[in-house]
Amino acid sequence: MEIWINPACSKCRSAVQLLDAEGASYTVRRYLDDVPSEDEIRAVLDRLGLEPWDITRMQEAEAKELGVKEWARDAGARERWIAALAAHPKLIQRPIITADDGTAVVARTDDAVRDALSR
């Protein structure tokens, strides 16, 4: 199990605390320092069953500068979104847990963290 976090994020810290409390075995990835490649983002999206715009933090200053709210949200625009997430990792929703069964979850709630633990 791996968790992508930003240590400055309260939801990330809460998720890590819950993983620790449950005695989970996991690896921390500080994704702002160890930026995921486009291929890694594609893999996580597949595991999540989501599209890149579903995990994009639209309120970030970088998102506003790029104008991502106006970008198309279809198969033809998918690679543009993935490239933007790789180039601007602050835009990636957090925390993301990749579960042992090959799935993943955006773990913004305790229930989502527990869901990942149960997989």
Residues 12 and 37: their CA atoms lie apart, in Å, by 21
Question: Which secondary-structure segment (H or E) carries 98?
Answer: strand 96-98
Give whole-number Cα distances, 111 to 30, 35, 92, 116, in Å. Answer: 22, 26, 20, 9
Annotated active-site residue 12? The verdict is no
Q: 1, 2, 9, 108: which is the annotated catalytic residue?
A: 9
CA quadruple 32, 37, 42, 43: dihedral sign: negative
* Active site residue ranges: 9
